[in-house]
């Protein structure tokens, strides 16, 4: 059953989560962007802020209302929590090569303000890290104690294309609580529970049952968000399209612009590639292994004793794009893209994944016309 929470009572939700032992992480304005960081109270939320995004561009701007979640997505994603940029895997002592695995010390955490595209991204990383033959210990430990508060999207940016991929803007499952921020009339949130943990938290809140008008308004918010981004990306057949165009001259055209910096992979909520760093103490008695984020754009990523298997930017960009939109499906049974637009906003060369696919599609149509 859906309930309605007054916007003024949003702090009660954060308090209820904290009372249940959760560390509360959500959006707040810092360093000129909306980041995910610990929240003390509802006043930390990006109240009245929005983001304006274009290829290679991200700016905060004031809204003319006091929305708490009136933006699309910032450069952070939840993988910072579940797959941190650096994690210690184990330590070893030279004596007996005794290896001690690092215990994951992760306080149960509530993610507040998870966009539907981000729910989809978490589900994708769950598949990678939990559903294979070998589950990742650290990811599993973090993921086990996460409480997800989704917020349906009412303010997609010009770069969003979740509706083309079916990953948003509405939240259908994979959350504990889902909120929809409503402005028409009283500023309030429609709240739905998606789990028994969600039910328990919802019972703590000063809500009233949702009226038909609340439900309709919430639907309109999501519909408008979907309408605003309709037709931005043609996803049909993209797997086969890309794999039959691995030698397209368009990869050379992208490579002329791509700086091979890896920003797209860092901001991507699903990119999961990691490198390991082995270190030893100065006296040589202990050693440790850390896992750190890597990017398929880095020089060393595909380096083997016989040379680099992807020596050019063309090869690296092609790897990234075809992995994201095609071979991810072969490897993990799902696309690797959720349509959040981060890779477009944070590309210093303003490369737009949608435009690159469209260019290949057009060329493919000509070639097969």
Q: How far is the CB of 212 from another protein (least distance, A)?
A: 47
217 or 295: CB nearest another protein = 295
Q: How far is the CB of 170 from another protein (least distance, A)?
A: 31
| Per-residue DSSP letter, 327 | I
Q: How far is the CB of 352 from another protein (least distance, A)?
A: 23
220 or 308: CB nearest another protein = 308
Q: Three-state SS for 25?
A: strand
Q: How far is the CB of 366 from another protein (least distance, A)?
A: 21
In contact, 143 and 180? CB cutoff 8 Å? no
In contact, 339 and 165? CB cutoff 8 Å? yes
Q: How far is the CB of 47 from another protein (least distance, A)?
A: 38
In contact, 58 and 51? CB cutoff 8 Å? yes
Q: What residues line the site for another protein (CB under 8 A)? A: 89-90, 92, 94, 96-101, 128-129, 132-134, 136-137, 243, 246-247, 272-276, 278-280, 284, 287, 291, 294, 296, 301-306, 309-312, 314-315, 318-319, 322-323, 327, 330-331
Q: Establish how many alpha carbons lie within 13 A of residue 264's alpha carbon, considering only the half-sphere containing its beta carbon.
A: 27
Q: Establish how many alpha carbons lie within 13 A of residue 195's alpha carbon, considering only the half-sphere containing its beta carbon.
A: 14
The angle formed by the CA atoms of residues 53, 119 and 7, to the nearest 5 degrees, is: 75
Q: How far is 36 from 30, CA to CA, in rounded Å?
A: 9
Q: Three-state SS for 330?
A: helix
In contact, 96 and 82? CB cutoff 8 Å? no
Q: How far is the CB of 263 from another protein (least distance, A)?
A: 17
8 or 292: CB nearest another protein = 292
331 or 362: CB nearest another protein = 331
Length of the chain: 369
Q: Three-state SS for 178?
A: strand
224 or 315: CB nearest another protein = 315
Q: How far is the CB of 187 from another protein (least distance, A)?
A: 44
Q: CA dist 209 to 176, 220, 322, Å? A: 18, 19, 46
Q: How far is 10 from 41, CA to CA, in rounded Å?
A: 9
37 or 302: CB nearest another protein = 302
- Residue that the structure tokens 């290896």 belong to: 99
133 or 366: CB nearest another protein = 133
């Amino acid at each position: 059953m859906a309930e309605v929470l007054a916007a003024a009572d949003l702090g009660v939700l954060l308090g209820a989560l904290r009372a249940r032992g959760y560390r509360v992480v959500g959006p707040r304005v810092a360093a000129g962007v909306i980041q995910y960081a610990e929240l003390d109270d509802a006043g930390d939320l990006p109240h009245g802020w929005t983001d304006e995004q274009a290829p290679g561009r991200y700016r905060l701007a004031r809204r003319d209302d006091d929305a708490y979640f009136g933006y699309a997505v910032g450069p952070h994603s939840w993988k910072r929590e579940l797959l941190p940029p650096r994690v210690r895997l184990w330590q070893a002592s030279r004596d007996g090569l005794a290896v001690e695995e690092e215990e994951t010390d992760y306080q149960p955490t509530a993610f507040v303000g998870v966009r539907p595209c981000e729910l989809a991204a978490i589900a994708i990383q769950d598949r990678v890290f939990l559903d294979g033959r070998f589950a990742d210990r650290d990811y599993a430990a973090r993921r086990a104690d996460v409480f997800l508060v989704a917020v349906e999207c009412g303010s997609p940016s010009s770069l969003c294309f979740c509706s083309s991929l079916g990953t948003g803007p509405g939240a259908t499952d994979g959350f504990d609580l889902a909120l929809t921020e409503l402005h028409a009339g009283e500023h309030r949130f429609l709240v739905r529970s998606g789990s028994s943990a969600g039910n328990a938290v919802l019972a703590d809140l000063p809500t009233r049952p949702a009226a038909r008008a609340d439900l309709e308004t919430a639907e309109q918010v999501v519909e408008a968000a979907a309408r605003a981004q309709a037709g931005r990306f043609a996803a049909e057949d993209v797997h086969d399209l890309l794999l039959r165009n691995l030698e397209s001259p368009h990869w050379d055209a992208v490579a002329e612009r791509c700086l091979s910096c890896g920003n797209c992979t860092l901001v991507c909520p699903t990119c999961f590639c990691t490198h390991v760093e082995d270190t030893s103490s100065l006296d040589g008695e202990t050693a440790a292994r850390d896992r750190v984020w890597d990017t398929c754009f880095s020089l060393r990523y595909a380096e083997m004793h016989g040379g680099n298997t992807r020596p050019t930017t063309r090869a690296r960009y092609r790897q990234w794009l075809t992995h994201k939109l095609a071979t991810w499906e072969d490897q993990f049974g799902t696309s690797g893209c959720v349509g959040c637009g981060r890779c477009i906003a944070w590309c210093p060369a303003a490369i737009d994944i949608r435009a690159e696919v469209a260019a290949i599609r057009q060329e493919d149509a000509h070639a097969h016309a």
